[in-house]
């Protein structure tokens, strides 16, 4: 017999959570994150300083969605209090690259001697700083920060070339809380 699945999360100090229809707005000292939780078989309730995620007689898929909701909320709490940081390294062996940020666009000039600069659009609520040969990507939403870092890395990707020999490019060196090997 199936049982109800009930997951609870405690809201940390300094974080407020409000519910607007299917959206949850998590606010903290670093900023706000608005996320939609709209599965019809899963109910999200806020009572006091706890969030309860309830699913009546869940299937495997619904159990997975409940745990995913829980992880999304944990990431939102961490993002609103501490924020997320990705670090990328600029590696240029043959041609010196010039990397700059202007108007929410990261511009990469002289990549492998190319005349036309490569550009990456930066998402809302994400900050990108270039410091020497390092690029810092910061923000409150883990998914947006990770996507911007991946977009920057993809911009200098060249399929068909051996990375051990042709090492020019921009590479992620540190993810949010993890070191990349």
Per-residue confidence band for 7, with pLDDT thresholds at 50, 70 and 90: confident
* Res 109: pLDDT: 93
Host H or E run for residue 35: strand 32-36
| pLDDT above 70: percentage of residues in the chain | 97
Is the pLDDT at 136 greater than 90? The verdict is yes
Per-residue confidence band for 69, with pLDDT thresholds at 50, 70 and 90: very high
**Which residue range is the domain that position 61 belongs to?**
5-81
Whether 50 and 96 map to the same domain: the answer is no
Single residue among 17, 51, 81 that ends a domain in this structure: 81
Is the pLDDT at 17 greater than 60? The verdict is yes
Count up the domains in the chain and report the number: 2
Q: What mean pLDDT is predicted for residues 2-14?
A: 88
Three-state DSSP class for residue 149: helix
Whether 44 and 116 map to the same domain: the answer is no
Longest Cα pair distance anywhere in the chain, in angstroms? 66
Q: What mean pLDDT is predicted for residues 157-173?
A: 85
Give me the count of residues in the chain.
181
Which CATH number characterizes residue 50's domain?
3.90.930.12
Whether 37 and 118 map to the same domain: the answer is no
pLDDT digits over 72-118, tens only?
Answer: 999 999 999 999 999 999 998 878 899 999 999 999 999 988 899 99
Is the pLDDT at 12 greater than 60? The verdict is yes
Per-residue confidence band for 163, with pLDDT thresholds at 50, 70 and 90: confident
Whether 89 and 111 map to the same domain: the answer is yes
Whether 104 and 21 map to the same domain: the answer is no
Is the pLDDT at 62 greater than 60? The verdict is yes
Q: What mean pLDDT is predicted for residues 41-51?
A: 91
Q: Are 129 and 135 in contact (CB under 8 A)?
A: yes
Tell me the sheet residues that pair with 135.
88, 130
Extended strands (E) in 73-162: 84-91, 98-102, 105-109, 118-121, 126-131, 134-139
Rounded to 5 degrees, what angle do the CA atoms 64, 65, 70 make?
A: 100
Whether 132 and 49 map to the same domain: the answer is no
Whether 117 and 94 map to the same domain: the answer is yes
Four-CA torsion 156, 160, 165, 171, nearest 10 degrees? 30
Whether 50 and 115 map to the same domain: the answer is no
Sheet containing 178-179: which strands, arranged edge to edge?
Answer: 126-131, 134-139, 84-91, 169-175, 178-179
Closest CA to 124 of 26, 51, 60, 31: 31
Q: Are 156 and 108 in contact (CB under 8 A)?
A: yes
Whether 65 and 94 map to the same domain: the answer is no
Q: Are 88 and 172 in contact (CB under 8 A)?
A: yes
Mean pLDDT for the chain overall: 90
* Res 180: pLDDT: 66
Single residue among 81, 115, 134 that ends a domain in this structure: 81
Is the pLDDT at 48 greater than 80? The verdict is yes
């Amino acid at each position: 017999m199936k049982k109800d699945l009930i997951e609870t999360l405690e809201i940390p100090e300094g974080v407020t959570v409000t519910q607007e229809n299917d959206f949850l707005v998590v606010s903290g000292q670093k900023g706000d994150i608005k996320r939609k939780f709209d599965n019809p078989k899963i109910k999200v309730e806020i009572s006091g300083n706890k969030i309860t995620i309830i699913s009546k007689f869940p299937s495997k898929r619904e159990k997975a969605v409940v745990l995913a909701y829980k992880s999304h909320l944990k990431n939102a709490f961490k993002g609103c209090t501490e924020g997320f940081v990705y670090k990328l390294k600029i590696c240029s062996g043959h041609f010196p690259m010039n990397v700059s940020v202007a108007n929410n666009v990261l511009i990469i000039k002289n990549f492998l001697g190319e005349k036309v600069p490569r550009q990456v659009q930066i998402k809302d609520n994400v900050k990108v700083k270039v410091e020497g040969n390092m690029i810092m990507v910061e923000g409150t939403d883990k998914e947006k920060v990770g996507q911007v870092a991946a977009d920057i890395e993809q911009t200098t990707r060249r399929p068909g070339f051996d990375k051990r020999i042709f090492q020019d490019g921009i590479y992620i060196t540190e993810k949010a809380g993890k070191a990349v090997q």
